[in-house]
Amino acid sequence: MLLFSEAAAVFSEIEKRSGRLEMTDLLAALLKKAEGAEIGKLTYLLQGMLAPPYEGIDLGVGERFAIEAIAASAGYSKKEVEAHYKKSGDLGDTAEALIGKKKQTALSTTEMGVTYVYDAMLQIAKASGPGSQEMKIKLLTELLNNASPLEGRFLVRFVLGRLRLGVGDPTIIDALSVAHVGDKSLREPLERAYNVCSDLGYVAKVFYESPERIEKFTVQPFKPLMPALAERLSTPKEIIERLKKCAVEMKYDGFRLQCHKSGERVELYSRRLDRMTAMFPDVVDAIKGVKAKELIFEGEALAYDSAKKRYYPFQQTMRRRRKHGIEEASKEFPLNLFVFDVLYADGRDMTNEPYAKRRALVEKLFKGKILQPSQALVVDSTKKLKEIFDESLSEGLEGIMAKDLAAPYTAGKRKFAWIKLKKSYGKAVDTIDGVVVGYYLGHGARAEFEFGGLLIAVYNPERGKLETVAKIGSGFSEAEMVELEKMLEEIKAARPPEELDYRIEPEFWVEPKYVVEVAFDDITQSPTHTCAMQDGKGYALRFPRLVRIRTDKGVREITTSSEVAEMYELQRSKG
C-alpha cells in the first residue's frame, strides 16, 4: 500500500525543484511504488483532480469549509485560523502550521493510503443535497485528524483546487514511462493514448496492466478526444504552397461540439471537454436519428436566423450555452451543427484514416437540417481559395479552414493538417487567445467603471509556465467593462498565479480563469513581457485590444508562447 504521507513527502520535494528531469525522476520513483489499483488514483491526485473534467466531479469545497475543518481538527477557533491565513496567504500553509501545534489530539489516528485519501475526497465531492455542507466539513475534518502537518498542507490545497505542484501532464507521462520501463521510450504511445481519451488516470491504469494495450489504444465512446488544433497562415498563397491540393471549409464562428453516441446514449462535450449534453436537447434528438449505432464526430454549432437567412453573431449563439431556460432558448435560437469530422463509427477508430476518407463518411452520414456537413470544396489554386475566403466573409463567417487531404486526425495537436485563415480586425493581422492574470483600475474618464485594463498571458507548455504578452487598455465596451470588473473581482488573488512568470505587476492579480481573444497590430520584443523570453527579451503585442471574452475556451487551450514566436517570425519574413 502506498501511503499518502509518502506522496506528500514527494510533493514537497517537487515543489522545491524546477528542473523537469529532476521532477520526472522524483515522480517516477513515487509512481513505481504504487500498486495496480492505486496508480490511476495517484495520477489524478498529481493532476490536482479526481477525474477527467468531463465527468463533472467538483469538490465544491470553498475556503469557508476548509477553515471550519482546520479549526475543528486542530482545536483552534475559526477566527484564529482566519487570522493565520491572513498572514500566510495560503490555507494549506495555515493547515500545516496549525496541525503542527494542535491544541487537541484525536484519540486514534489511521495511517492513510493513497486510495483511502482519494476515496474520501470522492465522497466529499459526491455529497449533495440537504446537509451536504456539514457532511463535506465532517469528512474533511476526519481526513485532517489523521494527517501529519505536511499531509494537511496538501490535503487542504487539493480540496480547494489549488494543488499546483507545477508538474504538467507531459512530465507525468514521462514519469509513467520511466517508472515502468526505466526510460522515456513509451512517451509517444502514452501521449497518443492520453490525447484520444483525455483521461490520464485511465491511461496509467491500462498501462500498468499491459503496456501493449497502450500501443494499440483506440478511441472509445464517452471518452472525448482532445480536439485537433489548427495552425495559422496569413495568405491564401502560403496555404496553397504548403498543402498544394487541399479541402477548403467554411470556418464557422460558433462553438465546437464533440458528439458521442452509443445506442440510445448521447453525450455532447465542449471544446474544453466539459459535458454539455443537457444544454442542447435539439442537437441530442437530431443525433439520435443518425444512422449509426456508435459514433464520435465533431462540428461547430451556430444559431441560425431563418427569417433573415443569416447566422446570428457569436454573442447570440453563445446564449445557447446556459443552464436555465433551455427549452425557450432552443426555440428562440435553434442551432445548426456543421459537422466537420468523424472520429469513430460503428467500432472503427477513424483517427488514423486520411481526411478525405473521414470527409466522405461525414457526407454520407449527415444529411439532416440540424446536422449537416460543413461546406467544403477541394481546390488547388490560390485564386480559388481566395474566392472561397471572400465568400465566407460576405456570409458573415470568420474565414476558412484548409485541410490536408491525406492527414490523419491529430488529437490534441497543432499540426499543418488544418490551417486557418481568418478575417482581420482593423489593421490587425491576427488574434491570440490569452488568459487574464491581472487587472488595473480605471483612471480619469473611465474611473466611474472602476476598470482600466487587463494583463494577459499565454502558455509555454515546455516550461509549464504562463508568460505575459500584453497589457490591454482598449477595445472594451462599457458593458464589457462592467462585466469584466464583476467577474475579476470574484477571483481576485493575494498573489500572482503560481505558474506565472512575470516582470510587470498589475494592480490586482487574479486566478488564471478567463480566456480572452486579443487583436493587435504586430509583435515586438520587449523586456517587460516574458513570452518566450530569451536574453532578457520576450515577445509583446503592439496595440493590443480586446475582441471578446471566450467562454468556450479553457486555460489549457490558449495560444502558446511558441505560436507567438512563430507569428513574430512570420511577420519578420514579410518585412
Kindly list the catalytic residues: 251
Q: Which of 65, 340, 459, 520 binds ligand AMP (CB under 6 A)?
A: 340
Q: Which of 68, 93, 249, 501 binds ligand AMP (CB under 6 A)?
A: 249
Q: Looking up cell 511558441, which residue turns up?
A: 562
Residue 21 neighbours by CB distance under 10 Å: 10
Of the ranges 39-47, 58-66, 248-256, 453-461, which one interacts with ligand AMP (CB under 6 A)? Answer: 248-256
CB of 321 to ligand AMP, least distance (A): 13
Q: Between 62 and 396, whose beta carbon lies closer to ligand AMP?
A: 396
Q: Between 136 and 256, whose beta carbon lies closer to ligand AMP?
A: 256
How many H-runs (helices) and E-runs (strands) does the chain carry?
21, 23
- CA-CA distance, 336 to 397, in Å (whole number)? 14
Q: Between 251 and 386, whose beta carbon lies closer to ligand AMP?
A: 251
Which parts of 211-230 interact with ligand AMP (CB under 6 A)? 227, 230
Q: Looking up cell 489548427, which residue turns up?
A: 230
CB of 254 to ligand AMP, least distance (A): 7
Of the ranges 31-39, 131-139, 196-204, 245-253, which one interacts with ligand AMP (CB under 6 A)? Answer: 245-253
CB of 548 to ligand AMP, least distance (A): 12
- In three-state form (DSSP H/G/I as H, E/B as E, the rest C), the secondary structure along 424-493 is CCCCCCCEEEEEEEEEECCCHHHHHHCCCEEEEEEEECCCCEEEEEEEECECCCHHHHHHHHHHHHHCEE
- CA-CA distance, 157 to 136, in Å (whole number)? 15
Of the ranges 9-17, 39-47, 244-252, 526-534, which one interacts with ligand AMP (CB under 6 A)? Answer: 244-252
Is 272 a binder of ligand AMP (CB under 6 A)? no
Of the ranges 162-170, 243-251, 272-280, 317-325, which one interacts with ligand AMP (CB under 6 A)? Answer: 243-251
Q: Between 172 and 547, whose beta carbon lies closer to ligand AMP?
A: 547
CB of 178 to ligand AMP, least distance (A): 33
Is 300 a binder of ligand AMP (CB under 6 A)? yes
Measure the CA angle with vertex 467, ends 489 and 568; round to 5°.
125
Measure the CA angle with vertex 207, ends 201 and 213; round to 5°.
120
Count of residues engaged in binding ligand AMP, rule: CB under 6 A: 13
Q: Where are the alpha helices (DSSP H) in 146-271?
A: 149-159, 169-181, 187-197, 200-209, 211-215, 236-243
Of the ranges 96-104, 107-115, 123-131, 249-257, which one interacts with ligand AMP (CB under 6 A)? Answer: 249-257
- CA-CA distance, 575 to 573, in Å (whole number)? 5
Burial code of 266-278, b = ≥16 C-beta within 10 A, e = fewer? bbbbbbbbbbbbe
Of the ranges 45-53, 114-122, 251-259, 528-536, which one interacts with ligand AMP (CB under 6 A)? Answer: 251-259
Q: Between 204 and 469, whose beta carbon lies closer to ligand AMP?
A: 469
Q: Is 97 left (phi over 0), alpha (psi -120 to 50) or beta?
A: alpha
Is 251 a binder of ligand AMP (CB under 6 A)? yes
Is the distance from CB of 8 to CB of 153 less than 8 angstroms?
yes
Describe the chain by its helix, strand, coil percentages, rounded to 5. Answer: 45, 25, 35
Q: Between 231 and 521, whose beta carbon lies closer to ligand AMP?
A: 231
Q: Looking up cell 495555515, which residue turns up?
A: 94
CB of 317 to ligand AMP, least distance (A): 12
Is 415 a binder of ligand AMP (CB under 6 A)? no
Is 520 a binder of ligand AMP (CB under 6 A)? no
- CA-CA distance, 125 to 122, in Å (whole number)? 5
C-alpha cell of 308? 433573415
> Which residues, including other chains, have CB under 8 Å from residue 564's CB and lie 6 or more apart?
432, 458, 469, 523, 531, 532, 539
Taking the alpha carbons at both ends of the chain, their separation in whole angstroms is: 62
Residue among 295, 290, 267, 292 at smallest CA distance from 280: 267
CB of 203 to ligand AMP, least distance (A): 23
Contact track, ligand AMP, 376-405, x by CB under 6 A? -------------------------x----
CB of 429 to ligand AMP, least distance (A): 13
CB of 374 to ligand AMP, least distance (A): 4
CB of 339 to ligand AMP, least distance (A): 9
Contact track, ligand AMP, 359-378, x by CB under 6 A? ---------------x----
Binding site for ligand AMP (CB under 6 A): 227, 230, 249-252, 256, 271, 300, 340, 374, 401, 420
